[in-house]
Chain A
Amino acid sequence: MNQEKILELDFKDSRDSYLLDRREFLKVAGGGIFILFSMWDVSVFAQERQSRGRQGLPTDFNAFLKIGEDGRITLFTGKIEMGQGVITSLAQELADELDVSLDSVGMVMGDTDLCPYDMGTFGSMSTRFFGPPLRAAGAEAKRVLLELASERLNVPVKNLVVENGIVIDAKNKRDKVSYAQLAKGKKIAKHISSTVPVKRPSEFKIIGKPENRRDAVEKVTGKAKYSGDIQLAGMLYAKILRPPAHGAKLVDVDLSEARKIKDVEIIHEGELVAVLHKYPDIAETALQKIKAKYDLPKTNIDDKNIFQHLLDSKPKGEVVEKEGDVKSGEKESENIIEQTYYDGYKAHAPIEPHTAVVKIEDGKATVWASTQTPFGAKEEVAKELNIPAKNVRVIPPFLGGGFGGKSRNVQILEAARLAKLSGKPVQVAWSREEEFFLDSFRPAAIVKIKSGITKKGKINLWDYSVYFAGERGSLVFYNIPNFRTTVYGSGGRGIASAHPFATGPWRAPGNNTNTFARESQIDIMAEKAGMDPFEFRMQNLTDKKMRNVLQRAAEKFGWKHAKASSGRGYGIACGIDAGTSVAAIAEVDVNKKTGHVQVKRVVCAQDMGLAVNPEGATIQMEGCITMGMGYALKEDIHFRNGEINDLNFDTYEIPRFSWLPKIETIIIDNKEADPQGGGEPAIVVMGAVIANAIYDAVGARLFQMPMTPERILEALKKG
């Protein structure tokens, strides 16, 4: 085999301008065998491309893997690890296809100098869209290695088997050669450009087996480095003066007291006022000494009138789905139910606030930052510093939680600007207050539904309008002859004028709001039809995956038919997110005097196709169920005139140990199907499952999240 020729061919042939160019690649690559691959290569993506393009989702996934001269496998991917566990599951996929042990696979993640372009880690896309080409690359690497082994051992490929990275002649087991020996002295690069056959589920050895997190030891010993743990020689910690409200204008600032603090450096450029010190706490002390006067905005928008404000400023609606005729559906319906649902702003509130370290040297910037979008950050920093993007390297250390909030890189640009102005490496680590104040909240949103049922309890009309949550999770999966789904405004950015502060994606964007509204409405219809909510759903569903997860959840829970409200406190809800179908049943206790809700038990079943790491997937389901109780019951951003009133965990309550229900999860065994999302789906059902359980417990229907004790007491009064 002429290796030079392969190399030439594959790079010439590469259409990806965003892949490292050949010279740069070989510079960083060293010796070994390389397989380069991109998202464009897999057929599964072709079906998705259109809809994803429309939603503004990334259409590229690139990476390469290396079989080093020492036999170690390294995957270079622009994806990052933020707790969701791809550091384990992606390695499992690669190890299995290559027939090596999981331990021999290393991961280099998100480093913009070492890894090819990737749009970001969000949207439950890593496993769904990155997994298939990754496996194909693994299979291709194995094919190349087998060819090399065949030459070396003089044995036809069909007679070779691989065990733990050793290629063995099946007929003469003493004839063998390791991947390390095969890679030694080689410099081969292959770009896969067509679908490569991957293992059948029956051949899996590592995929589909539960594996513990691979980063656990680093994390339990305190060795794992997060952005704030990066300390460079001569680095200063910066604290930035923040306005008291969004929209406030700085009119006067007195820095004299702050200047008196020893070794403090002050930067004042336009609206940017920052104090820098070699100790972060001293920088904070100096910041407190700054006296500033602001012109405050008078918007009068607060968390109570926001919904009317949003409806008043709604953009043009887009009908995203339609079938039959809603007018005739209304005529033919026995019962019409019209309801409006509300959802307030939520903070991401990762325990690690946004943090970044920037060092500028010889016109080149190196950035360590908590970001879900390192490649986006690279471009933004280049623009901010007015240097070419190739002179910026972003290295994402471990992320202390993201949930969508760290796809926005404000803190990185602040650190870059301050590093430039001070001439020293700078760390910007937001305080908890800054994290709340500057967060891009999950948007407040409204859903209006007009639905109708026939005498026999068949849904005959579904006229659904969602304002500001976006399309995700709004589409119909029940069998309804006449429906229309209208989306007013996306759930992400781009409609900033309507919101008094930044908004952005929050774990399963839009779907939490949409599923809360839809599944509450389904329960209301079930009651009108005089039916048990489980039975009503089954009667109106033919979707096999959904029927199955509902059935499995009901069996595990021990669901017995009863019309709501039965006093038992049982609720049910289902939804689809990131290709995964999920159903949950919850049992709650409602204190009628205080309005306090204790979730006692949650059974959750999901069909996510192939579960690459069932352990990781289970952890994600548990995490979703736990985190989801927060937005359902307590989490709400209170604000007025641009001021954010919830700035710490004292008033912004997130779920804690004492909230914990008994959690039982079921992952449907569906190895033959392509893997779907795992980090987000189970969270979408939590609003509705709790709302329906509250209604079943005490007959109080909640139309607004969070379902706080006050709102529950109010609903109880209404009866």
Chain B
Amino acid sequence: MIENVQFKLNGKAIKITIDSDRMLLWVLRTDFGLTGTKYGCGEGICGACTVLVNNEAVRSCQTSIKEIKDKDVVTIEGLVKDGKLHPLQKAFAEHDALQCGYCTPGMIMTAASFLKKNPKPTRKDVIEGMDDNLCRCGAYNRIIQAVQSAAKKMNGGN
């Protein structure tokens, strides 16, 4: 259905007229040019398209524009604040927690939401919290390290 939709995207107020049955993933990538959010499986299985909606990690390939009305959407591009990388982005780079990098934005967004709920996760917690995000290159081990190290930094530790 074509309608007027309002939402917040990476901190900015957005007002658009759009077919609200369209999936957020494609609207982000094409209408807004935010290509950091990736298509991986189209069925919400792999997590490459994960973004935050009101701080919850959601699969943007399974989320229609209708569902984000008046909500706060954050993509990987919105994590950088005042030119500074988010602690998770920094930790992923420092721990080499990526290879091809294609699943990385989805991993980071899932972790961002996860750390809000569990700021001091154990290794087991991270594994459980991130288990529905797939990486084919096999960077899981380092992603766990990166998430735990970012958690420490975000809690004010070293």
Residues on A lying within 8 angstroms of B by beta carbon are: 82-85, 212-213, 215-226, 228-229, 231, 237, 278-282, 349-353, 398-403, 429, 431-433, 615-616, 619, 622-627, 648-650, 654-658, 660, 663
Contacts and interface: CB of A to CB of B under 8 A. Distances in A.
Given A226-B38, A657-B130, 13 more contacts: A213-B93, A220-B76, A220-B101, A222-B35, A226-B35, A351-B100, A351-B102, A402-B100, A622-B139, A626-B140, A627-B136, A658-B131, A660-B141
A212 B100 CA distance: 14
Contacts of A231: 30, 33, 35
Contacts of A663: 141
Given A212-B93, A225-B35, A657-B144, A623 B41 contact: no
Tell me the interface secondary structure of chain B in the complex. Answer: loop
B138 A648 contact: no
20 contacts: A83-B98, A83-B100, A83-B137, A212-B94, A213-B96, A216-B92, A220-B104, A231-B30, A281-B26, A351-B100, A351-B135, A398-B100, A401-B136, A432-B42, A615-B96, A619-B96, A623-B99, A649-B46, A658-B131, A663-B141
Contact of A623 (B22, B40, B94, B137): B137
B113 to A, nearest CB: 15
A619 B76 contact: no
Query: Which one of B30, B43, B92, B101 has the highest number of Cβ atoms from chain A below 10 Å of its Cβ?
Result: B101
Contacts of B29: 228-229, 280
Contacts of B23: 281
Query: Which one of A216, A226, A349 has the highest number of Cβ atoms from chain B below 10 Å of its Cβ?
Result: A216
Given A212-B93, A619-B139, A657 B102 contact: no
Contact of B26 (A83, A279, A623, A648): A279
Nearest to B94: A212
A237 B25 CA distance: 15
A384 to B, nearest CB: 25
Given A351-B40, A400-B100, A217 B85 contact: yes
B104 to A, nearest CB: 5
B108 interface: yes
A443 to B, nearest CB: 20
Contacts of B131: 656-658
Interface string B15-30: 0000000110110011
B76 A221 contact: yes
A429 B42 CA distance: 12
B38 to A, nearest CB: 7
B138 A627 contact: yes
Query: Which one of B23, B42, B88, B133 has the highest number of Cβ atoms from chain A below 10 Å of its Cβ?
Result: B42
B5 interface: no
B80 interface: yes
A209 to B, nearest CB: 14
Contact of A220 (B25, B48, B89, B130): B89
Contacts of A223: 36, 77
| Minimum-distance CB pairs A-B, first 3 | A222-B36, A400-B102, A626-B138
B144 to A, nearest CB: 7
Nearest to B76: A222
Contact of A648 (B35, B41, B85, B92): B41
Given A222-B36, A279-B30, A350 B100 contact: yes
B50 to A, nearest CB: 12
A429 B39 contact: yes
A351 B48 contact: yes
Interface string B82-119: 00010011101110101111111100100000000000
Contacts of B134: 351, 649, 654, 656
A648 B75 contact: no
Given A216-B92, A350-B102, A351-B103, A432 B40 contact: yes
